Chain A
Amino acid sequence: MTLDSKIPAGRLEDKWTSYQAKSHLINPANKKKLNILVVGSGLAGAGAAATLAELGYEVQCFCYQDSARRAHSVAAQGGINAAKNYQHDGDSVWRMFYDTLKGGDFRSREANTYRLAELSAPLIDHFVQQGVPFAREYGGVLANRSFGGVQVQRTFYARGQTGQQLLLAAYSQLSKMIRAKKVEMLARHEVLDIVVIKGKAKGVIARDLATGEIKRFAADAVVLATGGYSRVFRLSTLAIGCNGSAIWKAHKRGAYFAAPSFTQIHPTALPQTSESQSKLTLMSESLRNDGRIWVPKKEDDNRQAKDIPEEERDYYLERRYPSFGNLAPRDIASRAAKERIDAGYGVGQLKNAVYLDFKHAIKKLGKDVIQDKYGNLFSMYEKITGINAYEEPMKISPAAHFSMGGLWVDYELMTSIPGLYAIGECNYSDHGANRLGANSLLQTSIDGYFILPNTINNYLEGELKETRPDVNHPEFVKVEDEVKSQIGKILAINGHRTTDDFHRELGKVMWQECAMSRNKKGLQKAILQIKEIKDAFWKEVKVTGYDNEMNPELEKALRLADFIELAILMCTDALERNESCGAHFREEYQTEDGEAMRNDEDYKYVSVWEYDAGDFKLHKEVLEFEYVQPTVRSYK
């Protein structure tokens, strides 16, 4: 199969408009005859499910949580970007497009990235209409703040709970369509496999997590909106249930996986304190607007932060990147922190953290202003650590956060399986090798609300002539049997190690070899280690309970089995890319002062992987830059 990105012809500014003008439409009476499965109820999933239902399609929406309102979009704190230029500071669609393309180190498509910027302003209009209580100025207009990697103020926010407020708006809109009986919501349902009939996605197999029942769902199209897979590292900023199972199963059924190793390590999470830790809590990047990051100038300094005088502090981001300072992009800020920590300047009990200090901001702006902006983050910090950050600096550390990689999709957000779409974080579309802060809520919302509802018709129009899929088709029976047999196999092992034990082992290998910095030897070793973990898992894991009941231990084991296989692909991908770009930093390819060395000559492509009976075959989508010349990505 050849990779057709389906980028419309014409000027960059006109591509989306001309696409919409030419795509096939479906009349309202016919839309009612088509049904769509949406897997996931985050901003992408809920936004898509609600909007598709408003358009007239029959929709079934799945989430593994007890309610659509829990999806992990809820946890995004800082904000959402939009090129409104309300601050009159020189912002524009073009500038936002350029910032995003550059932020991603020129590893995404121009056309996709431009569309993201183009649709950002109407998205803010949409959320305001839906009742999102964004922060306002006294005069009643919307307020903005800055985020990393840009020099304008284009981030809209609702205190430190922007993701929550946007998700609740999407959940509300979804609830409206549930009441209208246009969406059937299937909470506590986890999709375990995709059914492909004659090369087209025609349904899913899901497990009812409350009863253990395995169910078949047929449809005219399937939309995956399952979020990121950084729980592969075990310790991450993600929710415990976040997983890569649906996209991994889709991959094994023929959907190509793009840039799987591009993972964003967030610079400002709370440091790990013990082995038994299950999660790393994020502290919003917005804190870097007013907080200053530093470590002691003296190695292994055991003094309290307050006892270290100004001249003995190293504000290393301000030192290394004077024009962006504390607002350097995430990949750069994370690597800079790792460099200082590895060199022996880390702080905290395990010496694995750096300081984020508000002393200067509080002195300049007053405690009230800081409290108004970040109050909930400071109280969250205190709840978790017991420390009052108004009095002493926060201790922060890098943590696995966002998957830029995901299922390969074309301009229509369709995967390489016709009728199977991937939207939001689970696809690889707009962020390239590094995502800018506050672009995540944006991309996931735009995919769900604006793009998919305008592209899926182009495919479904052709499906009107087809007979409706049926759950008794032999392919449904076959896939269901495979799902049941995998569950049976895991339960039958009855070994001597817990799922968590394996997950910790996998996480350590991935964090060591496939996170902030990578090298050939390490990656080769990691692949072998992960294969050993896989063998051991299928011999030694112990899962108690049964398949026909609520069984959280079984859910965990099924997810981990997929993570282990995905981890092998991630390392394979990182090994193949002999350059450093964005979050992908290969130690062999760096400048003398430790900056990433990109290689456009040989690697100006997206790595697109095809599953090939346990092995992976590489395809290349070469990136054409017609409007922007890739430059050295400098924030100095």
Chain B
Amino acid sequence: MKITFKIWRQEGANSEGSLKTYDIDGLTEDMSFLEALDHLNERLVLKGEKVVAFDHDCREGICGQCGVFINGRAHGPHDHMTTCQLHMRSFKDGDIIVVEPYRAGAFPVIKDLVVDRTAFDRIIEQGAYITAKTGTAAEANAILIPKEVADSSMDVAACIGCGACVATCKNASAALFTSAKINHLNKLPQGHPEAHKRVLDMTNQMAIENFGSCTFTAACEVECPAGISISSIAEMNARYIKAKLFE
């Protein structure tokens, strides 16, 4: 199949970027979207041009490193799917595909389609852990955790940290990401001792990093590859109020 890519090219963080057009032939339906970009890059190399820089790694939807805007949607046309899981069979021969980096103040562009998502790491550093050293654990079955609790913790723990929620949100809010981590730990008995501090510190960092506020448009949950629901944000807000009252 033949595709016209319009791809955002930007040399560095402080340079100006623009969309460049590439007509590319020889693609097949069973190629993944990233393999189509590989294909384009090989042709660019042979022409002596610089390759399009894009982030990716596991290519099986779990590492969360890939993620671009495709035709105006984070991770492309499907709900709950990473960019690496998108295949060219989702497009038609002759289509024009516009590819841009995630746009958010807290995710500055490094080059082309690559953005800096270290703001997420800094939110995690503010309390997405249990303060317990290696070697201090009690027998695993000493604390029973009902299946429903473990399951609902797992539902949000599944977040892959790709940033699609931020990219798709008109406010560039990180509420879905932050809530998923807070709820994962605060639901479990192991997370209880630090529950209040965790929700206060992590949401505070979210503000410091210049993520926007959540206005419950639910745009994020549509794109979330892990299928995390915005009820997670509501739960975080409830935990926040509780923490404010009791701290």
User: Residues on A close to B: CB < 8 A?
Assistant: 47, 50-51, 54, 65-72, 74-75, 84, 86, 122, 124-126, 128-131, 133-142, 158-159, 161, 163-165, 168, 171-173, 175-176, 178-179, 185, 187, 210, 239-241, 273-274, 276-279, 281-282, 376, 380, 383-384, 386, 449-450, 453, 496, 498-501, 542-545, 549-553
Contact = CB atoms under 8 A, between A and B. Distances in A.
Interface string B54-71: 111111111111000000
B23 interface: no
Most buried by B among A54, A163, A450: A54
B130 A131 contact: yes
Given A175-B125, A551-B51, 7 more contacts: A67-B120, A128-B137, A130-B130, A136-B149, A140-B144, A164-B158, A282-B60
Contacts of B35: 276-278
A453 B81 CA distance: 39
B63 A74 contact: yes
A395 to B, nearest CB: 13
B147 A136 contact: yes
Nearest to A163: B62
A66 B118 contact: yes
Contacts of B87: 384, 386
Contacts of B65: 65-67, 70
Given A65-B65, A126-B134, A131-B191, A501 B48 contact: no
B45 interface: yes
A126 B139 CA distance: 9
Residues of B contacting A: mostly = loop
B188 A54 contact: no
Contacts of B133: 51, 54
Nearest to B41: A553
Nearest to A123: B137
B185 A136 contact: no
Q: Interface range on chain B: under 10, 10 to 19, 20 to 34, or 35 or more?
A: 35 or more
B153 A133 contact: yes
Contacts of B28: 274, 276
B58 A72 contact: yes
B190 interface: yes
Contacts of A125: 137-140
Given A69-B161, A171-B124, A545 B130 contact: no
B30 interface: yes
Contact of B51 (A142, A163, A545): A545
B62 A74 contact: yes
A50 B134 contact: yes
B42 A501 contact: yes
A70 to B, nearest CB: 4
Contact of B140 (A128, A239, A282): A128
Contacts of B9: none
B118 A380 contact: no
Contacts of A74: 58, 62-63
Contacts of B64: 69-70
B51 A553 contact: yes
